[in-house]
Every structure is written in C-alpha cells, then in structure tokens.
Amino acid sequence: MGLIVKSFTLSFGVFGRMILPILAIMVVSSILWGLLNLVSGGYLSFLSGPITATFIGLFGIRTALALMGDNRRTEYEILILYSVLYGVFLLIAKGGALLLSDIAAVAYADWRLGDAVSFRNFLNAEKSLQLAFGFYALSAKAVVSLVMYTSVCVVMAVPLASAARAAGRGTTSAGFFAGAGRSFIPLFCIFAVSFFLQFFFELFTSLFAMIPLLLSVISVVFSQTIPDFDLDALLKGAAASAGLLWLHSWIWAASAVALVKADQSSEQQLTAAPAQAATTIDMRALRKSRE
C-alpha cells in the first residue's frame, strides 16, 4: 500500500518534468526513425515503436529517481543501448503474451459452447454460433490479454528501473533481469489500472488532438489555408493528452519506488546476516563454556 501511495504522489512531479522532454523525444525520434527507415527500406519500422517507448520509459524512470535524490548525470549513449536491448526483448515477450491470450480466448470460447477445443470449430459453425463464439472469445481475450500484458510489464518493471539508474554516470549495471518480479502485487494493481485507463485516454487523444492536428496539416499543405480551430476540442485534446502522460508517469514513478524498496530490502538482509552469524557464534561459545 505504501508503494501505491508514494508512487501516486511522486507521479505528479514526474508528470510536470516530462512535458517538455517527451515532446522533444517524439520530434527527434520521428526524424531519426524516418532516416533509418529510409536507409533500411522500411525494415526497421516495426522496431521504432518499442524502442522509442522503452527510451521514454527509461527517461521517465530516471526523472522519478532524480526526484528521489539520484541526481547523477545521464549518459544518453547507455540509455539508448538499454532502450534497444529492452525494447527488443519486450517486443518479443509482449508478443508471446498476446499470442497466449489468443489461444486461451479460443479455448475458452470452445469450452463455453461445449465443443472440442479447436479454432476449426469457428470456421465450420453456424452463423449464430459464430457470433456466440466471437463474443466469448473477445471477452476472454480482453481480460486475459490485459492480465498477460500487465504481468510481463510488471515482472520487468524493476529491471527497467535498474537499467535507468545504471545510465547514470559512475553507476554499474546490476544485470539484465535484476529484481525481476519484485513488488509484483502493488505494481500489478498500478499497471493494470493505468493500462485500462490508457485505452480510453488514447482514444480521446486521437479523437480530439491527433486527428484534428492531422487534418489541419493536410489542409495547410493541400489547400494553403489555415483551418478554424475549435477551442473546446483543443481543450479536450490537451486534457486527454495530459491524462495519458500522467498515467505513464505513475508507472514510471512506481517502477522507481519499487527499485528503491528492493535496494532497501537487500541492504536489510545484508545487515541482518552478520548479526545472525555473530549470534550463532556466541551461542556456540556459550555451549562450549558450559561443557
């Protein structure tokens, strides 16, 4: 409970510090990936999203760590390296989780309809049964995919935070999977709520911000006219974008807090080990003196 409360309060500071950096990152990444896709013939396009998202996440976690007292200078070349490594890994891991959720959804739909567990039943069923199959499959997929996707992100939350900290000058890496699965339950609650709300905020951001902006650019390019902007729509788009950024900021703050909590737990174990060893030695000495 303490992790949830502390990360919630910390998230507002992270949100305020990430507004300008995330805009700069998006502009630079769009230019950089545009050039890389041009050189590679578009073969790198499927990596642009995961790597950019991982870089933003690592930068956000470093911002949270800075608010918690870690003010070491960021070495961006290391941050980029970790973004590539973790971005590719998470792309594979999340893809596998979503594939498993598809299999589970189809199996659940077949079980609910009393059929053998096979996707071929969907192709051969009557139209009414197909609708029923689709309803059960989609409902199961929505739940299972959220759980699976969230679990992958939660398991890697502390390792990502450790990598973000390792990008600070003079800091050593603790290992690729260091701290994997730590603080799973509170992190799962935070990530699940955030991911669920992100779906709606992304939808609102697209409707009120991204689509009007795209239409405005098209209007300027092709008709050479500046479109009229609806102030109400602009405010809704700004509010949706701000809400989406805050939801991400909460995740970054939670990852940073979980890393610090894991460090404190490890330090307590190291401190307790010599004390326990000393107690054992004293007990042995006492037994020998009695003998």
pLDDT at 85: 96
pLDDT tens-digit map of 141-181: 778 888 999 999 999 999 999 999 999 988 888 889 999 99
Average pLDDT of the chain? 83
DSSP states of 26-89: HHHHHHHHHHHHHHHTTTTHHHHHHHHHHHHHHHHHHHHHHHTT--PPB-HHHHHHHHHHHHHH
pLDDT band at 24 (very low <50, low <70, confident <90, very high): very high
Residue 129: pLDDT band (50, 70, 90) is very low
User: What is the per-residue pLDDT for 211?
Assistant: 78
Provide the pLDDT confidence category of residue 132 given band limits of 50, 70 and 90.
low
Percent pLDDT > 90 in the chain is 51
- pLDDT higher than 80, residue 139: no
Q: How far apart are CA 205 and CA 200, in angstroms?
A: 9
Count the neighbouring beta carbons within 10 Å of the beta carbon of residue 274: 9
Backbone angles phi, psi at 35, to 5 degrees: -70, -40
Quick one: pLDDT at residue 197? 95
Kindly indicate the confidence band of residue 195, based on its pLDDT and cuts at 50, 70 and 90.
very high
CA-to-CA distance for 123 and 134, rounded, in angstroms? Answer: 11
Region of poorest pLDDT, from 2-11, 127-136, 168-177, 248-257: 127-136
Q: Which two tokens stand for residue 58?
A: 């690592």
- Give the number of C-alpha atoms closer than 13 A to the C-alpha of residue 149, restricted to the C-beta side: 18
Select the more confidently predicted residue: 227 or 44.
44
Distance CA 172, CA 260 (A): 16
Residues 6+ away with beta carbon under 8 Å from 280:
none
Reported as a single tens digit per residue, the pLDDT across 34-71 is: 998 888 887 888 899 999 999 999 999 999 999 999 99
Contact assessment for residue 45 and residue 52, using Cβ atoms and an 8 Å cutoff:
no
User: How far, CA to CA in Å, does 234 sit from each of 78, 166, 201, 230, 242?
Assistant: 37, 39, 14, 6, 12
Tell me what pLDDT residue 188 has: 97
What is the rounded CA–CA span in Å between residue 101 and residue 184? 20
Quick: pLDDT tens for 204-222: 988 888 877 777 777 777 7
Q: Which residues does 244 contact at the CB level (< 8 Å), separation at least 6? A: 198, 201, 202, 205
Read off the pLDDT of each residue in 64-89 and give the average, rounded to a whole number: 94
| Phi, psi for residue 178 in degrees, rounded to 5 | -60, 125
Whether 128 shows a pLDDT value over 50: the answer reads no
Are residues 161 and 259 in contact, defined by beta-carbon separation less than 8 angstroms? Answer: yes
For tokens 């390296």, name the residue: 81
What is the structure's pLDDT at 242? 95
Task: Look at 64-68, 98-102, 212-216, 275-279 and tell me which has the smallest mean pLDDT.
Answer: 275-279
